[in-house]
Amino acid sequence: MGFMDNLRRGLERSRETINEIFYMGGEVTEDFWDDLEDTLVMGDMGAEVAIRVTDHLREQAAKENLTRSHQLRSALIERLSEEFPRASRDPFVDTPSIVLFVGINGAGKTTTVGKLAGRAQSDGVRVLIGGADTFRAAAIEQLEVWGSRSGVEVVTRERGADPASVCYDVIEEAEKRGSELVLIDTAGRLHTSSDLMRELAKVVSVTRKRAGITPVSVVLVIDATTGQNGLNQAKEFNDALDLDGLIVTKLDGTAKGGIALAISHQLNLPIYRIGVGESIDDLQTFDAHDFCAALVGEGVQ
């Protein structure tokens, strides 16, 4: 089963709600537009996006004389995909590159680091993992398991060590080894804790300074099942750290996959990867059109 199949399967719960307005022979009436707008809002895409997309489709339907709901399915996919900001570079492909992973506990940071390291290593990229989560012993063990499995070295320090110092040491080691891609896992931070966020800002600052001319990307790993709370988290992290992009995980566990669009659009941040399952193949490069096609569903019903 390919990733598109997994993506469609993962977004099935989200798609069911949208599909209700595209039933066989449905006429494009005023009720249809009201239902479409409400459905997009309930899918956690946000009122602003829902209204703009619906108004755009309403104009298109009038111009092209589209009178049946199924005729608008492809147009909805195209219009939604246009709402996603595009990435200027892919920090996991365009090397040399250093990536700092941030987010709250349980979002899937450590697993994401391991999956990306394993994939890059298998593609022939020289990878180094940094374990800057020195507060949670399980995080280091988890990274070491991924490192052992994929043949990627993991650099970390004793529990309780200063995370910024760990990042400094990781970059030193990366330069010695000639590593092309450096992936650094940080400790989970509650976005409501100003002290912890300031500490994380220090980690980012030290990493950027030590990296020199090597690009450093700060990537937020966000759990899609947190819904609107995830948007609040993302805003706080972005305000504190000036994020470069997002990885959205656990999209297969929510009926409101539109939250990915809401976060990306409102913060003007590209989504680099999405996760729709547990296996390494279920974390893939984000494609806005493919995502929206899986979210809305394709084909005439």
Distances (CA, A) of 132 to 165, 189, 201, 202: 9, 12, 13, 13
- The answer to whether the annotation marks 249 as part of a ligand binding site is yes
- The answer to whether the annotation marks 104 as part of a ligand binding site is yes
Distances (CA, A) of 84 to 122, 267, 286: 29, 10, 10
- The answer to whether the annotation marks 108 as part of a ligand binding site is yes
- The answer to whether the annotation marks 29 as part of a ligand binding site is no
**SS3 (DSSP) at 71:** helix
- The answer to whether the annotation marks 252 as part of a ligand binding site is yes
CA-based torsion, 147, 152, 156, 158: positive or negative: positive
Return the structure tokens found at 240: 């504190």
Please give the angle made by the CA atoms of 222, 297 and 63, to the nearest 5 degrees. 110
- The answer to whether the annotation marks 189 as part of a ligand binding site is yes
Contact 120, 239 (CB under 8 A): no
What distance in Å separates the CA atoms of residue 135 and residue 300, rounded to the nearest whole number? 52
- The answer to whether the annotation marks 245 as part of a ligand binding site is no
- The answer to whether the annotation marks 2 as part of a ligand binding site is no
- The answer to whether the annotation marks 112 as part of a ligand binding site is no
User: Where is 33: in which H helix or E strand?
Assistant: helix 30-42
Please give the angle made by the CA atoms of 105, 98 and 121, to the nearest 5 degrees. 90
One-letter amino acid for residue 268 of the chain = N
φ, ψ of residue 103 to 5 degrees: the values are 150, 175
- The answer to whether the annotation marks 61 as part of a ligand binding site is no
User: Where is 43: in which H helix or E strand?
Assistant: none
User: Where is 19: in which H helix or E strand?
Assistant: helix 12-19
- The answer to whether the annotation marks 106 as part of a ligand binding site is yes
Phi-psi region of 140 (alpha: psi -120 to 50; beta: other; left: phi over 0): alpha
Return the structure tokens found at 179: 């590593």
Known binding residues for GTP are 103-110, 185-189, 249-252
Residue ranges for the binding site?
103-110, 185-189, 249-252
